[in-house]
Amino acid sequence: MTINLEYPLTSRNLRPNGTVVDIGRVKVGITELVVMAGPCSVESAEQILRIAREIKVAGATILRGGAFKPRTSPYDFQGLGKTGLEYLRAASCDTGLRIITEVIDPRDVELVAKYADCLQIGSRNMQNYPLLSEVGRSSKPVLLKRGLSATYKEFLLAAEYIMVEGNEQVILCERGIRGLSNELRFTLDLSVVPYLKEKTHLPVIVDPSHGTGNARLVPAMSRAAIACGADGIIVETHYSPKDSISDAIQTISTAELAQLIKELEAVAKAVGQRIPLPLVK
Amino acid sequence: MTINLEYPLTSRNLRPNGTVVDIGRVKVGITELVVMAGPCSVESAEQILRIAREIKVAGATILRGGAFKPRTSPYDFQGLGKTGLEYLRAASCDTGLRIITEVIDPRDVELVAKYADCLQIGSRNMQNYPLLSEVGRSSKPVLLKRGLSATYKEFLLAAEYIMVEGNEQVILCERGIRGLSNELRFTLDLSVVPYLKEKTHLPVIVDPSHGTGNARLVPAMSRAAIACGADGIIVETHYSPKDSISDAIQTISTAELAQLIKELEAVAKAVGQRIPLPLVK
Amino acid sequence: MTINLEYPLTSRNLRPNGTVVDIGRVKVGITELVVMAGPCSVESAEQILRIAREIKVAGATILRGGAFKPRTSPYDFQGLGKTGLEYLRAASCDTGLRIITEVIDPRDVELVAKYADCLQIGSRNMQNYPLLSEVGRSSKPVLLKRGLSATYKEFLLAAEYIMVEGNEQVILCERGIRGLSNELRFTLDLSVVPYLKEKTHLPVIVDPSHGTGNARLVPAMSRAAIACGADGIIVETHYSPKDSISDAIQTISTAELAQLIKELEAVAKAVGQRIPLPLVK
Amino acid sequence: MTINLEYPLTSRNLRPNGTVVDIGRVKVGITELVVMAGPCSVESAEQILRIAREIKVAGATILRGGAFKPRTSPYDFQGLGKTGLEYLRAASCDTGLRIITEVIDPRDVELVAKYADCLQIGSRNMQNYPLLSEVGRSSKPVLLKRGLSATYKEFLLAAEYIMVEGNEQVILCERGIRGLSNELRFTLDLSVVPYLKEKTHLPVIVDPSHGTGNARLVPAMSRAAIACGADGIIVETHYSPKDSISDAIQTISTAELAQLIKELEAVAKAVGQRIPLPLVK
């Protein structure tokens, strides 16, 4: 094996069979597909608990929800912060679902890691190097979202920033890029999936919610993601999307999620992967 | 039914079940998938005949090949012209495959329509309105490729230019857009597939060869195209890709095509579509 | 001098001092600046005559106006055609201004060349090769607008398509590219000006009207164009912009044009160029 | 005056005449132009001192130089850190030039503010909200660079994040966006200058070095920036560009800077602005 000098830690030739990231015994990578679902923002203990229970029934294994929200405007709802983390943890205790939530400040990594099973780095922070280094020193797995105009090289080098600190549990996530002045909010760049699969041993998942900005396109693009080799999806889900404080237009219902997971099982089978059953609590 | 004033002819509400375009009895649209395959350029009678025979065995039903080539540089090979059309027709007579080939000059539409079963409008000409009008007056079906930076609206309105002249046999084709300065030649924008499926009754296919510019990504992106609802693919194929005069790097072999069609059959079945067997001669 | 094999006709080393294109004795290139102004569309004999007279007073020397309009929708006004050309010619006879107008069909080149002093190839047709070849066989100068997502290389090679047919009177025009989903219609890419000036001997002008899509930004971006070395501007102008049939939002008034030309004279002087006085009739 | 609810602090109607930001008595905004110059990275005490002395002679008033470098790869030179800050301060003591340098970690704001006269937020951090908030609590002025694919709205809202914490000394900086797959590293979007000037009272400057990635284009694009209303430029400068550790290809020499400032004076005069003489020590 030769060392890839540009990508010494992410290069596929280090682990030709790929890496499995372990999120509290939920496996991401290789032959199992992961479905992460939940609301854009944690809004209340009741909201997140009800969503958690419904996505578990639908077949998801990881609960997503924002407690620290990076919002374009300082005047928009910024999330419930630590309280939101507590609500997420309570929902996890109730359902057995694992928790993924975003961290946006290097000073909060320790706090968020106490509550979350997986730390999310959002698109705006893909090149926030002090934050990448800090999560690189955490013992929790990291989901790294691609920046809005990041090249594939920049994406992989951002993962190197995390891994060089010792944390090798990194999942890459395509979430749409900014391209053409277009009818959709972003351009979901699925070619990144087979491209990265060839370059790196890390798992790659897809966020069709931000990637299209349109709930009606989420099922089709989720199927496409699995068909081209993604290891799973992360999808904004709510029992009543129209009542979401944020991202309502791109959020699917928990009923739609259940239907979607059935479709994904069929596609996964067609391409030789499977979706695992939810873990027992 | 209300008339959509912006899209009076392409709007889905005109034909909620979708349109089937008939290319010499090969059906495109609704539940059948079409595979169009062949070289970038027709290079010789032998080359196109051998490719035709091999893609037929692989399971394709339509033979693509450029006789009039729109090349970025005037100093590059511009195609064999009328001779290329004759070679295509001979290959069709031998195999029963239908022929699709590009027309780039409104003065050549009649000539090309004599030889081709389907006329292709390339990306550079998506807003070449005299050419659109001229193929709109032809009796042959038209494959309309999306422009390199065309919005969805511009794409649909280009189809209206064809249809308003009386030709309703139009197939839309996503082939990658120019976005981000990136590692790939283009960004394949698959979200256009479910988006257009909702807006228009016309069939939508995908060109993963130009859409990625990379033969190694073609199988994965073809599977993704079918999984998100495309009615087929058009894929650059050669018995020996490295010997192609043009587009060698994005051309798959006929052996890879055979394998790909098997994979597409599995994905198609998973999403409720099927690939028809090749027509008898 | 070595021949540049990629750009044998446009390469700067062929004519290190640059080329002057002669539009009916109005010079474009090297030390004189050209101001082309006029409406998006020729709407009536009165409209174009009044605009011609007013832009002449303002200091412009070339009258622009569309007779054959490439419109995104087939249901929008497509221009007055040959009648529009006659109105333009009449306005030229009255004022002595030279005429530039777009040609979109290779079959119309001869007709348009009878009326126009300069043929315009629009952005949508930058890679319409039969059209480029046809204007390449015309004796009239050609203004070639950059395609919406054309690279610099593609832009220069489109000029080669014209020049290889024998017509060396080509002016390049930056008019904004499609980039970022943004608040403006297009992104005016002024870096193309000094870039092209180094690569090619052809004159380069800028269209700040399409390039910004916003009349309020036209003066500032016109000044910037001249400051970075452009040989002139082409600007949509109307005595009453709000009454334009098309492009009203990006059209400046003839009064604003007069003020703008004064500003451009100051900038031109600061960078060592000058705006010539209008030709006598 | 009505409050602009979307932009309560940045909106132009708050201060129709514009804001002057004071960087240690160097004024930025309204009628004076600022030239910030210096190397990409502070490499040694001698390097930064020599550059400082030479740019002062050339006419610049603010010294730029990176001590904390946000590099795409973790394996590239990351800057000298605190030592770099000390070298910058020493160069300032020697020359009287004011210092601007980037801060990339909210935990470093206090440290950097001790040494710098102006804090720079780089493109990668335009939406790093904890960092924006932290510099918003600093007493030092802030230069906010536009993100690589930020819309104008996102850019202004990032400034709101700083100002809402109490720091109203914000300068906006265009530095090129990622657009088209192109021959240049970035697309310098100068239209943002007159656009922002209309929307906000904050000063707007331009970085032609990153904006083009090409030293040969820096003079022309600097002139264009001033011609369309920018309040100044920030330009990578070195006595020997080819010896820079980073960004050598886009760095101009101190001799070229002297020539450039002369050209800018002429353009500034043509558009009614002036470049102030360097402050006495």
Asked, for residue D21, whether it belongs to a domain, the answer is no
In this structure, what are the phi and psi dihedrals at residue A11, rounded to the nearest 5 degrees? Answer: -60, 135
Cα distances from A64 to residues A22, A56, A89, A104, A175, in angstroms, run 16, 12, 11, 15, 15
DSSP letter, residue A175: -
Indicate which of C71, C131, C152 best probes the interface with B, i.e. most B CBs within 10 Å of its own CB: C131
- For residue A245, pLDDT beyond 90: no
Structure confidence at residue C5 as a pLDDT band (50, 70, 90): confident
Give pLDDT, residue C281: 47
Asked, for residue A186, whether it belongs to a domain, the answer is yes
Which residues of D fall within a CB distance of 8 Å from A6? 73
Asked, for residue A222, whether it belongs to a domain, the answer is yes
In this structure, what are the phi and psi dihedrals at residue A23, rounded to the nearest 5 degrees? Answer: -105, 90
**Arithmetic mean of pLDDT, D246-268:** 94
The span from the CA of D207 to the CA of D215, in Å, is: 12
Q: How far is the alpha carbon of D94 from chain C, nearest alpha carbon, in Å? A: 34
**Concatenated DSSP letters of C60-120:** --EEE-BSS---SSTTS----THHHHHHHHHHHHHH--EEEEE---GGGHHHHHHH-SEEE
The span from the CA of D280 to the CA of D24, in Å, is: 12
Asked, for residue C24, whether it belongs to a domain, the answer is no
The span from the CA of A101 to the CA of A87, in Å, is: 12
The span from the CA of D72 to the CA of A212, in Å, is: 27
Low-confidence winner among A24-33, C65-74, D39-48 (lowest mean pLDDT): A24-33
Across the interface, of A220, A221, A229, the residue whose CB is closest to B220 is: A229
Q: In a 3-state reduction of DSSP, which class is residue D101?
A: strand
Q: How far is the alpha carbon of B247 from chain A, nearest alpha carbon, in Å? A: 18
Q: For D106-157, how does the pLDDT look when each residue is reduced to its tens digit (9 = 90+)? A: 999 999 999 999 999 999 999 999 999 999 999 999 999 999 999 999 999 9
The residue segments making up the domain with residue D48 are 30-270
0.90 surpassed by complex ipTM: yes
Q: In a 3-state reduction of DSSP, which class is residue A89?
A: helix
The CATH number that applies at residue C232 is 3.20.20.70
Which residue's entry shows tokens 């292709």?
B120
**Concatenated DSSP letters of B193-247:** HHHHHHHBSS-EEE-HHHHHS-GGGHHHHHHHHHHTT-SEEEEEEESSGGG-SS-
Which residue's entry shows tokens 């309309």?
B144
Give pLDDT, residue C181: 56
Closest to A87 (Cα-Cα) out of A56, A63, A123, A61: A63
**Arithmetic mean of pLDDT, C233-253:** 92
Indicate which of C72, C181, C187 best probes the interface with A, i.e. most A CBs within 10 Å of its own CB: C181
B195 vs C: CB within 8 A: no
Residue in chain C closest to B129 (alpha carbons) equals C70
Asked, for residue B16, whether it belongs to a domain, the answer is no
**Concatenated DSSP letters of D229-255:** T-SEEEEEEESSGGG-SS-GGGPEEHH
- Neighbouring C-beta atoms of residue A135, cutoff 10 Å: 27
The span from the CA of A195 to the CA of A235, in Å, is: 22
- For residue A167, pLDDT beyond 60: yes
**Arithmetic mean of pLDDT, A145-157:** 96
Is C95 in contact with C53 (CB distance < 8 Å)?
A: yes
Tokens read off for A172? 């890459």
C105/B107 touch (CB, cutoff 8 Å), yes or no: no
C182/A179 touch (CB, cutoff 8 Å), yes or no: no
A181 vs C: CB within 8 A: yes
Closest to C101 (Cα-Cα) out of C64, C55, C46, C75: C64
Asked, for residue A75, whether it belongs to a domain, the answer is no
Give pLDDT, residue C280: 45
Who's near C89: CB < 8 A, 6+ residues apart?
Answer: C99, C115
The span from the CA of B98 to the CA of B116, in Å, is: 8
* Total domain count, chain B: 1
- Neighbouring C-beta atoms of residue B257, cutoff 10 Å: 27
Beta bridge partners of D173: D145, D205
Q: For C92-125, how does the pLDDT look when each residue is reduced to its tens digit (9 = 90+)? A: 999 999 999 999 999 999 999 999 999 999 999 9
Is C231 in contact with C205 (CB distance < 8 Å)?
A: yes
Structure confidence at residue B267 as a pLDDT band (50, 70, 90): very high
B191/A195 touch (CB, cutoff 8 Å), yes or no: no
A127 vs D: CB within 8 A: yes
Cα distances from A91 to residues A241, B13, C169, in angstroms, run 19, 44, 72
Angle between helices C218-227 and D218-227 (to 10 degrees): 150
Which residue's entry shows tokens 């993100």?
D147
Pairing state between β C232-238 and C34-38: parallel
Across the interface, of A151, A184, A194, the residue whose CB is closest to B217 is: A194
Is A205 in contact with A173 (CB distance < 8 Å)?
A: yes
Q: For D74-118, how does the pLDDT look when each residue is reduced to its tens digit (9 = 90+)? A: 999 999 999 999 999 999 999 999 999 999 999 999 999 999 999
Q: For A63-103, how does the pLDDT look when each residue is reduced to its tens digit (9 = 90+)? A: 999 999 999 999 999 999 999 999 999 999 999 999 999 99
- Note the helical H segments in C203-253: 208-212, 218-227
The span from the CA of A100 to the CA of A118, in Å, is: 5
Asked, for residue A229, whether it belongs to a domain, the answer is yes
Q: In a 3-state reduction of DSSP, which class is residue B143?
A: strand
Tokens read off for B23? 């290319």
Asked, for residue C159, whether it belongs to a domain, the answer is yes
